[in-house]
């Protein structure tokens, strides 16, 4: 199968054509899709028809399915996360810049998000290239960041103290038995496949630098959060039913834009271990 790869901005993102991802793809096509992901950070497919099983099967061509610890309620298909926004929701899943699930010791390498129902206008997703964010830093800042490690945990987005379930349709574990998951990761990482250095911090999961207080860490973290999502590092994707976004969670941040409060937006997501 011959696919087309059409970049959508100078920073990152490409639309993939000539492929039906619900089919039994040959190894060459899978390799070409993976290379496009590595080259562009996030790739998009249009006019796809995926049921739950074909969504999982497509995901498995790139790695093992990751089971998210905070979206587990004993449901069928624990590998699947349903991202739902209903009219009137005050908050949405992913409403601030982040990489997914970075509180894990080994965060997911990628995610595949499929649109089932989207508003006619609004509800776009933004993506930011963290290779470019790192490369644009001064040499002095790179030296400063090189030895630093950051503490990531999920206390802002799960558990009784988060208080998110009352504000949105997508539910998270907020039971008393929930316990936070915390891990420490380098602020600057080298991508395991491309070898390129990139920033690896985000305001949803990072709380402080290892060995420093939250107050001491915050000024530099605030600078990095703002720098990481400068417009020239980003792209914006407008959803249609049947669209797919497939992003490299290791080197790309993303944000769900909450700009349509009157319409439903129903998505289905897998993550790759």
Q: Rounded to an integer, what distance in angstroms lies between the CA atom of residue 108 and that of residue 67?
A: 10
Query: Is 39 part of the annotated catalytic residue set?
Result: no
Instruction: Report the C-alpha gap between 184 and 176 in whole angstroms.
Output: 24
Q: What stretches of 95-157 show up as alpha helix (H) in DSSP?
A: 130-135, 139-145
b/e code 176-210 from CB counts within 10 Å (16+ = b): eebeebebebbbbbebeeeeebbbbbbbbbbbebe
Which residue is it, tokens 């997914």? 100
The three-state (H, E, C) secondary structure of 75-98, written as one string: CCCCCCEEEEECCCCCCCCCCCCE
Tokens, residue 136: 């644009």
Q: What is the radius of gyration, based on Cα positions, of the chain?
A: 18
Annotated active-site residue 269? The verdict is yes
Q: Rounded to an integer, what distance in angstroms lies between the CA atom of residue 77 and that of residue 53?
A: 9
| Residue from 89, 100, 154, 248 carrying the catalytic annotation | 100
Residue 141, CA distances (Å) to 3, 129, 183, 221 in order? 40, 18, 24, 12
Q: Which helix (H) or strand (E) holds 209?
A: strand 206-209
Nearest to 47, CA basis, from 15, 75, 24:
15
3-state class percentages of the chain: helix first, strand second, coil last, to nearest 5: 20, 25, 55
Q: Of the residues 254, 258, 265, 268, which is catalytic?
A: 254
User: In the chain, what's the furthest Cα-to-Cα distance?
Assistant: 54
Judge whether 98 counts as a catalytic residue.
yes
Catalytic machinery residues: 98, 100, 254, 269
């Amino acid at each position: 199968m011959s696919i087309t790869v059409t970049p959508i901005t100078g920073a990152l993102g490409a639309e993939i054509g000539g492929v039906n991802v619900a089919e039994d793809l040959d190894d060459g096509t899978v390799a070409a899709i993976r290379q496009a992901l590595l080259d562009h950070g996030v790739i998009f497919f249009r006019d796809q028809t995926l049921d739950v099983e074909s969504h999982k099967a497509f995901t498995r061509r790139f790695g093992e399915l990751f089971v998210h610890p905070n979206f587990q309620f004993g449901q069928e298909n624990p590998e699947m996360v349903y991202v739902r926004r209903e009219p009137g929701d005050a908050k949405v899943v992913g409403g601030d810049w982040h990489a997914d699930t970075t509180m894990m010791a080994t965060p997911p390498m990628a995610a595949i998000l499929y649109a089932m129902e989207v508003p006619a206008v609004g509800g776009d997703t933004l993506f930011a290239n963290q290779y470019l964010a790192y490369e644009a830093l001064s040499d002095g800042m790179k030296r400063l960041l090189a030895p630093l490690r950051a503490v990531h945990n999920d206390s802002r987005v799960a558990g009784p103290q988060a208080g998110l379930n009352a504000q949105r349709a997508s539910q998270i574990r907020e039971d008393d038995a929930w316990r936070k998951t915390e891990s420490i990761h380098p602020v600057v990482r080298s991508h395991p496949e491309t070898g390129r250095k990139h920033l690896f911090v985000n305001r949803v999961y990072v709380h402080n630098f290892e060995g420093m207080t939250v107050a001491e860490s915050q000024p530099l973290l605030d600078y990095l959060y703002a720098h990481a999502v400068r417009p020239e590092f980003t792209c914006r994707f407008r959803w249609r039913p049947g669209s797919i976004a497939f992003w490299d969670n290791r080197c790309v941040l993303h944000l769900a834009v909450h700009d349509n409060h009157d319409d439903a937006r129903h998505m289905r997501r897998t993550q790759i271990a």
